[in-house]
Amino acid sequence: MAVGYQGLPKLHPVGGVRLGTTAAGIKKPGRPDLVLIELARGATASAVFTRNAFCAAPVILAREHLSAREPSYLLVNTGNANAGTGRQGLVDAQTCCEAVASRGGCEAADVLPFSTGVIGEPLPVATLTQGIPAAFSALVAEGWANAADGILTTDTVPKGSSRQVEIGGRPVTITGISKGAGMIRPDMATMLAFIATDAVVERDVLDGLLKRAAGLSFNRISVDGDTSTNDACVLMATGASGVKPEPGSDDFETLETAVTAVCRELAQLIVRDGEGATKFIAIKVVKGRDQKECTDVAYTIAHSPLVKTAFFASDPNWGRILAAVGRAGVPDLNLQAVTIHLNEVCIVSDGGRAADYEEARGQLVMDQEEITIRVDLSRGSAEATVWTCDFSYDYVRINAEYRT
């Protein structure tokens, strides 16, 4: 069970968005595996994709389609990533877009395809396209929770987040769903997130908003440091509320804060459901010279198998955290000035173990399920937070036994 999981919250419908989920038979019979998202005319959409050079066929096609126009439909299948499938993979993804377009009365370029599941198997195009009529029939505004189920692979829980804020005296909704359990499992290629708002946001403004929100959420999590061939995050703005916050205004700030909060919650849910995770760890690096050195330090800690196994063992092994900070490549770091805290307990100061540190106090923190590591570099005003989980026997089991 995911660390600190509270169940799926109420997911408010977003005007201009309908979702249809069906069991097309790509996975086990009866298991939802195909999700169709319909956007009303006039909606804008923005997406960020994996930086993996071996990106999957649907990523290539979705990026291409999105560059030309605003989408009418998003088609998401689980059970097969259509990755490592070469040229045939592109043909298959295009065929699926055409099937949606012919049923939906639009062009194939108006459809964005997304796939998640096993790498390297041919996409079962016939099975998938046979499910499309049922997905159309299932389209409803209240379809978010079903869709949250329909995009899962080996996740143990569905992931959703929803906010309603008031902008200029009128309600605006932001709702999103995500999936992913290894930060990326290339063989269950992996993180997907779909977020919609009924605010009016033009495409170039939406691009900037998504980039910033993802930078503070999906790009700040790590389960195992791997990066999928299929990662994608889509932000859609339908405009159905009629509310158009001007970029730079307080109203826009309200929207951006809410979108970022939804993204952060969806991202943290992926870490909480991390493979084999028993702890949820926030790594906060403060007083760095710039963002880059803060994230370098945070990720070096987050990716260290030694730190992660120590957390699994609830072992307040401050030496491993100190060594990770030391090898993060921060130039001219004044070690005497660096302090490291586990929650409120100072574990490192003056270049070594804090003088007043007692193991029993560190142990009290480590015994908790949610822990914050705070590294103070004491040389600037930048800061960054990264979320990760521990490294357990179950991580090895899940990833060693996945295909056997």
- Active site (catalytic) residues: 190
Do the annotations mark residue 153 as ligand-binding?
yes
Closest of 126, 133, 78, 128 to residue 102, by C-alpha: 133
Among 281, 322, 365, 371, binds a second copy (CB under 8 A): 322
Phi, psi for residue 162 in degrees, rounded to 5? -150, 140
Q: Which stretch binds a second copy (CB under 8 A): 31-39, 91-99, 106-114, 225-233?
A: 225-233
Please state the separation of Cα 206 from the chain's center in Å: 18
Cα–Cα distance, 196 to 175 (Å, whole number)? 6
Among 186, 239, 288, 362, binds a second copy (CB under 8 A): 186
Q: Is 330 left (phi over 0), alpha (psi -120 to 50) or beta?
A: beta
Counting other chains too, the contacts that 319-327 makes at CB distance below 8 Å and 24 or more residues apart are 321/347, 321/348, 321/373, 321/375, 322/348, 322/352, 324/297, 324/300, 325/297, 325/300, 325/301, 325/375, 327/300
Considering the rule CB under 8 A, would residue 242 count as an interface residue with a second copy? no
Amino acid letter, residue 205 = V
Do the annotations mark residue 275 as ligand-binding?
yes
Nearer CB in complex with a second copy: 5/402: 402
The distance between the two most distant Cα atoms of the chain, rounded to a whole number of Å, is 71
Considering the rule CB under 8 A, would residue 55 count as an interface residue with a second copy? yes
Q: Which stretch binds a second copy (CB under 8 A): 70-78, 159-167, 245-253, 330-338?
A: 330-338
Considering the rule CB under 8 A, would residue 1 count as an interface residue with a second copy? no
Interface mask (CB under 8 A) for a second copy, residues 298-317, using x and -?
-----xxxx--xx-xx-x-x
Do the annotations mark residue 197 as ligand-binding?
no
Positions in 373-392 near a second copy (CB under 8 A): 391-392
Task: Classify residue 217 by its DSSP letter.
Answer: T
Considering the rule CB under 8 A, would residue 294 count as an interface residue with a second copy? no
**Cα dihedral sign, 18-21-26-27:** positive
User: Could you count the other beta carbons within 10 Å of the beta carbon of residue 28?
Assistant: 9
Do the annotations mark residue 78 as ligand-binding?
no
Considering the rule CB under 8 A, would residue 155 count as an interface residue with a second copy? no
SS3 251: helix
Shortest distance, CB of residue 394 to a second copy, whole angstroms? 9
Considering the rule CB under 8 A, would residue 95 count as an interface residue with a second copy? no
Chain residues in the site for a second copy (CB under 8 A)? 51-55, 83-87, 89, 118-120, 182, 184-187, 189, 224-229, 303-306, 309-310, 312-313, 315, 317-320, 322-328, 330, 333, 335, 348, 350-353, 391-393, 395-397, 399-404
Q: Cite the annotated binding site for substrate by residue number.
A: 153, 179, 190, 275, 399, 404
